Amino acid sequence: MTLKTVLAGTASLCLIAGAVQAQDQEPITLGIPVFLSGAASGPFGLPQRNAAEVIIAELNAGNLPAPYDTKGINGRMVEANYVDEAADAVQEYRNMAEREGVDAVVGYTSSGNCKAVAPLAEELQQLTVLVDCGTPQIFESVVTDPTYLFRTGPTGTIDSVGAARYLVDTGVDMSEVAGINQNYAWGQDAWADFTGSLIALDTGSDIATEQFPQVFAGQYGAEISALLTSGAKAIHTSFWGGDLEAFILQAAPRGLFARSAVVMTTGEAAMQRLPNEIPEGAIIGARGPYSYFAPESELATWFRDAYEKAHGQPPSYPAWKMAQALLGLKSAWEKAGSDDPAAIAKAFENLEYETPAGTVRMAIGNGHQAVQGIAYGTYKQDADGNPGVENVIAYAAECVNPPNDTTAAAWIEAGFPGASCN
């Protein structure tokens, strides 16, 4: 072998090694479906997109506090392809997975969309992190043996159980109770869990009326009339997005909040947008320990400040949940120390990690579903007219989540066995 041949071979090996190294340093591409149009875009989709932009930019710059102070994910930069969740969810998911070849999908607010795409994650072996949709059906009946599918936000079960406990703990008259919830998986599950919790807590409540308008109906005059004439002392609603805002704008002037204690499980998402329209005393939830209910920490302060600096207002709870999903993905990816989706998925199972909203444990759904606590409070503006909450009661994750080996409905029906609410 001549020296020329040796040098040529060495050069070829260097080129190959360089190509491999360059390939390793290609950006990680995330498909991020959020509502970019329609009634859910303002209160949900845009805060989620804003949060993703902040987190991704600051991750790439290495500006987050520990334990997220390393650049990107495993040193690779992160890029986002935003998709409108208001479009055909199944078709757009297939486009992201099969045509665009994204490394992971992170998003979704609608429980209907989550139910539609959840089986595709397993079929296409596409690493997928659900951000916000709350129906407990995802890992109870839709995907019962998950590998690639995760949800980093808690299920809606904690909203309903926490709401019932809050009403009891604050002494609200529960003799007559009513509900107005959207007529699909999210609203049906929320009302079933809430009424089941009333039975488990032995409130002796009678159901005065239950209203199930279509999702995104927008006009609720007839339903509000039914609530007003029902004599209900307490009203439960899991309305979200534009439906919640429409309900507030239509119900408050008619005196519904003055007649009944109204608990809005997603109410925090409307606080920045309708600060003067939400009646003081309305009971507010944020689908977990987010925003006004978040425990104080360096990471929480950093996120509030970074988001407000970028977007001119504090982050609402949809933004907090997007941040939580992206940090969970980074944690799992770096724990795996590999770009192999199967290895990342394995590392994600039963993961425990820190977020701006405190510690998240992927503890149910065979290690694919997050559990967190929840808090409720009553709406109150400060002297300067800024929205806030008072009379806050927080419930630990162990108080409001079912264990891994049972469904939410069965756990509630059995009277919350194993719950710890100290």
pLDDT in tens, 145-181: 999 999 999 999 999 999 999 999 999 999 999 999 9
Radius of gyration of the chain (CA): 23
Q: What is the strand order of the sheet 128-130 is part of?
A: 78-84, 28-34, 104-107, 128-130, 149-151, 369-371, 358-364, 352-355
Q: Which of 376, 368, 373, 414 is nearest to 157 (CA)?
A: 373
Find the mean pLDDT for residues 372-376.
98
Rounded (5°) CA angle 34-39-42? 60
Cβ–Cβ < 8 Å for 177, 260: no
User: Residue 3 above 70 pLDDT?
Assistant: no
pLDDT reported for residue 6? 40
Instruction: Give the model's confidence band at 5: pLDDT under 50 very low, under 70 low, under 90 confident, else very high.
Output: very low
Element (H, E) at 208: strand 206-211
- Measured over the CA atoms of residue 370, residue 170, residue 44 and residue 304, the dihedral's sign is negative
Q: Rounded CA gap, 215 and 51, in Å?
A: 25
User: Residue 21 above 80 pLDDT?
Assistant: no
The string of DSSP letters for 324-340 reads HHHHHHHHHHHHHTS--
Instruction: Give the model's confidence band at 18: pLDDT under 50 very low, under 70 low, under 90 confident, else very high.
Output: very low
User: Residue 224 above 50 pLDDT?
Assistant: yes
User: Residue 418 above 80 pLDDT?
Assistant: yes
Q: Which of 25, 30, 127, 31 is nearest to 76 (CA)?
A: 25
Q: Rounded CA gap, 226 and 403, in Å?
A: 37
Token representation of residue 360:
């998240």
User: Residue 12 above 70 pLDDT?
Assistant: no
Percent pLDDT > 90 in the chain is 93
C-alpha 357, offset from chain centre:
12
Cβ burial 367-380 (10 Å sphere, 16+ → b, else e): bbbbbbbbbbbbbb
pLDDT tens profile 45-55:
999 999 999 99
Neighbouring CB atoms inside 10 A of 225's CB total: 13
Instruction: Give the model's confidence band at 17: pLDDT under 50 very low, under 70 low, under 90 confident, else very high.
Output: very low
pLDDT reported for residue 422? 78
pLDDT tens profile 287-300:
999 999 999 999 99
Cβ–Cβ < 8 Å for 359, 398: no
Q: Which SS3 state, helix, strand or coil, does residue 145 take?
A: coil
Element (H, E) at 262: strand 261-264
Q: How far is CA 132 from CA 109, 154, 244, in A?
A: 5, 8, 16
User: Residue 255 above 60 pLDDT?
Assistant: yes
Q: Note the maximum CA span of the chain.
A: 97
Token representation of residue 419:
């719950």
Terminal C-alpha separation, the chain: 78
CATH of 157-293+373-413, one of 3.40.50.2300, 3.40.50.620, 3.40.1350.10, 3.40.50.360: 3.40.50.2300
- Measured over the CA atoms of residue 394, residue 397, residue 399 and residue 400, the dihedral's sign is positive
Instruction: Give the model's confidence band at 13: pLDDT under 50 very low, under 70 low, under 90 confident, else very high.
Output: very low
pLDDT reported for residue 25? 79
Find the mean pLDDT for residues 261-279.
97
Report pTM: 0.93
Residue type, 22: A
CA dihedral 253, 255, 260, 266 (to 10 degrees): 0
User: Residue 15 above 80 pLDDT?
Assistant: no
- Domain range list for the chain: 25-154+296-371, 157-293+373-413
Please tell me if the domain spanning 25-154+296-371 has the same topology as the one spanning 157-293+373-413: yes
pLDDT reported for residue 24? 53
Find the mean pLDDT for residues 249-266.
98
pLDDT tens profile 101-131:
999 999 999 999 999 999 999 999 999 999 9
Q: How many residues does the chain have?
A: 422
Percent pLDDT > 70 in the chain is 94
Find the mean pLDDT for residues 212-233.
96
Instruction: Give the model's confidence band at 285: pLDDT under 50 very low, under 70 low, under 90 confident, else very high.
Output: very high
Superfamily of chain region 25-154+296-371:
Response regulator (3.40.50.2300)
Find the mean pLDDT for residues 16-37.
74
Helices 317-336 and 46-61: crossing angle in degrees, nearest 10, is: 40
Find the mean pLDDT for residues 78-106.
98
Instruction: Give the model's confidence band at 236: pLDDT under 50 very low, under 70 low, under 90 confident, else very high.
Output: very high
User: Residue 23 above 60 pLDDT?
Assistant: no
Q: Which SS3 state, helix, strand or coil, does residue 97 take?
A: helix
Rounded (5°) CA angle 172-174-175? 140
Token representation of residue 238:
């899991």
**Which residues neighbour 376 within 8 Å (Cβ) at sequence distance 6 or greater?**
162, 163, 166, 263, 283, 284, 285, 392, 393
Residue type, 151: R
Cβ–Cβ < 8 Å for 145, 338: no
Mean pLDDT of the chain: 94
Cβ–Cβ < 8 Å for 389, 171: no
